[in-house]
Amino acid sequence: MISDALKVQLTGHCGHYPSRRVGLIFVMQKLQEHYGGWLPEEAIREAAEISGVPETEVEGVATFYNWFFREPAGRHIIVVCDSISCYLCGCDRIAANLERKLGIKLGETTPDGMFTLLPVVCLGNCDKAPSIMVDDELYGPVTADMIDEIIEKTASETHGTRRAHDERNRPV
């Protein structure tokens, strides 16, 4: 459940537009942040109530965009660009290295809930291919050697509570 304060803030945000629906994506981003990086049923219901959009359509929006998650995601999201320039510069090797290091496949989350590994389209960093993004940080050109370092650095920054992590991962 969300706090009354957050509800008031999000409701106010929607009211700012000629159509409440315009605020929906923002509302869902904030709810995802609140629920620790994904949108449970409850969040879909709340987004519907706040924006005045039917629940089924909120679900449609949640499943359309790749930065909305309908199941729990890791504390850290690692996305690996597999578009053309990174492909030419060896992104398959980088993805394979990450899979080995984390012990999961692309599309999966580590059992400890720390990392989710996903493919992504061109990160707009093609002159620094291959590129990856870890939470808000962009890396490129990434070499196999850098991967251990990046993972360790990211993991070591995860201290304390989920809340601390959520603060750092604020989407805006």
Q: Which residues bind another protein (CB under 8 A)?
A: 18-19, 21-26, 28-29, 51, 53, 57, 60-61, 64-68, 79, 82-85, 87-90, 92-93, 120-129, 133, 136, 138, 140, 171-172
User: Which pair of structure tokens corresponds to residue 97?
Assistant: 């290295």
CA-to-CA distance for 14 and 24, rounded, in angstroms?
7
Partner from another protein, ligand FES, none contacting 66, C-beta within 5 to 8 A by type: another protein
The residue type of 38 is W
Residue pair 52/46 in contact by the 8 Å Cβ criterion: no
User: Which pair of structure tokens corresponds to residue 57?
Assistant: 């359509």
Quick one: which segment of 7-15, 53-61, 79-87, 103-111 binds ligand FES (CB under 6 A)?
79-87
Quick one: which segment of 51-59, 70-78, 111-119, 124-132 binds ligand FES (CB under 6 A)?
124-132
Neighbours of 54 (CB within 10 A): 10
Least Å distance, CB 123 to another protein, is 6
Interface pick for ligand FES out of 1, 8, 22, 84 (rule CB under 6 A)? 84
CA-to-CA distance for 22 and 50, rounded, in angstroms?
12
